[in-house]
């Protein structure tokens, strides 16, 4: 099992977010648990650069040999980068959900920092998985 980095925050729907405090750019992906549940990922539909996301909205789709699943925005902000490598190799999500398999990056407005702080810590998320 992939080690879960301690600096992430999670939604109950298994998306993770990592905020760079200096740049206020947040990287978003899905958890190791989510990719294991999906199985081999074969396709990813990502938001467009410049899109403005609203926290909780469906922003991407992941398709695997088993199912398709929506990806929700953990935070509001503007998409500043997408992981183009996923178009060529969507299996990066399976191989490296917390590093090479990230989905997109969002510029976080200062007033949304408290929204990130309200998400589950890595410890809380892992605890929740054990309880379910």
Q: What's the confidence (pLDDT) of residue 1?
A: 44
**Per-residue DSSP letters for 10-22?**
E-TTSEEEEEETT
Render each residue's pLDDT in the chain as its tens digit; 132 residues: 468 999 999 999 999 999 998 999 999 999 999 999 999 999 999 999 999 999 999 999 999 998 899 999 999 999 999 999 999 999 999 999 999 999 999 998 776 667 888 899 999 999 999 998
| Residue 112 per-residue DSSP state | G
Q: What is the pLDDT of residue 21?
A: 87
Q: What is the structure's pLDDT at 107? A: 95
**For residues 127 and 131, what is the distance between their CA atoms, to the nearest angstrom?**
6
CA 90 vs CA 33, 66, 76, 97, 99: distances in Å: 16, 14, 25, 11, 13
């Amino acid at each position: 099992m992939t080690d879960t980095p301690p600096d992430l925050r999670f939604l109950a729907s298994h998306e993770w977010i990592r905020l760079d405090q200096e740049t206020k750019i947040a990287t978003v992906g899905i958890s190791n648990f989510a990719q294991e549940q999906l199985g081999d990922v074969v396709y990813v539909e990502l938001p467009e650069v410049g899109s403005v996301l609203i926290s909780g909205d469906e922003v991407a789709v992941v398709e695997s040999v088993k199912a398709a699943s929506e990806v929700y925005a953990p935070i509001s902000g503007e998409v500043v980068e997408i992981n183009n490598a996923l178009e060529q190799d969507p299996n990066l999500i399976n191989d490296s959900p917390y590093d090479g398999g990230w989905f997109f990056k969002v510029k976080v407005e200062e007033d949304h920092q408290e929204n990130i702080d309200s998400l589950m810590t890595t410890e809380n998320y892992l605890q929740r998985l054990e309880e379910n």
